[in-house]
């Protein structure tokens, strides 16, 4: 049995200023508007799509080398995260909460990928968020927007 899917809103909605994809939660504008009317299954589908994009964005920058250590640190630091999500989503929550305070990613069970080696964790957090947004926009433009076109 699944837990109820909570809104992914982080209070930084850009759909009100005309974005087709929210820069905060990465949902599509119609998903933001219709969220409360969706069934749990519809919400789960959206959550799984978002999770997949976030996992890809994080994995391109960081690798989890010790998941138990990551989990222990998240709990010790009292960082809010969803344990049911992919552990790479946990990494993003860690970076959102304290990228500027982490000196050594290895202390959290993480290793930088080769393309991320000379970049601060604050910049990595921004890269990940930008990639997460770009993946969402690409999906929207390729699969959603064409269906919205007026014929």
Closest CA to 125 of 83, 94, 84: 94
At 39 the three-state DSSP class reads coil
Looking at residues 22-30, what average pLDDT do you find? Answer: 97
Lowest mean pLDDT among 3-12, 21-30, 131-140: 3-12
pLDDT higher than 80, residue 46 = yes
Looking at residues 63-81, what average pLDDT do you find? Answer: 97
Residue located via tokens 């959206």: 46
pLDDT band at 30 (very low <50, low <70, confident <90, very high): very high
What are the residue boundaries of the structural domains of the chain, listed by start?
39-134
Return the pLDDT at 3: 80
Q: Is the dihedral of CA 129, 44, 40, 43 positive or negative?
A: positive
What's the DSSP call for residue 21?
B
pLDDT higher than 80, residue 8 = yes
pLDDT band at 16 (very low <50, low <70, confident <90, very high): confident
Looking at residues 20-34, what average pLDDT do you find? Answer: 97
Residue located via tokens 């899917």: 5
Q: Distance between CA atoms of 128 and 28, rounded to whole angstroms?
A: 18
* Cα atoms in the 13 Å half-sphere on the side-chain side of 134: 8
Structure tokens at 91: 């990494």
């Amino acid at each position: 049995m699944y837990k109820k899917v909570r809104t992914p809103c982080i209070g930084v909605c850009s759909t009100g200023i005309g974005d087709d994809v929210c820069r905060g939660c990465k949902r599509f504008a119609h998903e933001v508007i219709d969220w409360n009317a969706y069934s749990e299954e519809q919400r789960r589908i959206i959550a799984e799509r978002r999770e997949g994009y976030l996992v890809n964005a994080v994995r391109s920058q960081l690798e989890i080398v010790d998941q138990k250590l990551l989990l222990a640190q998240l709990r010790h630091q009292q960082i809010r995260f969803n344990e049911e999500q992919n552990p790479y989503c946990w990494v993003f929550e860690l970076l959102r909460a304290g990228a500027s305070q982490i000196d050594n990613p290895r202390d959290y069970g993480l290793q930088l990928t080769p393309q991320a080696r000379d970049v601060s964790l604050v910049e990595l957090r921004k890269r990940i968020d930008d990639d997460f947004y770009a993946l969402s926009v690409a999906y929207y433009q390729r699969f959603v927007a064409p269906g919205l076109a007026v014929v």
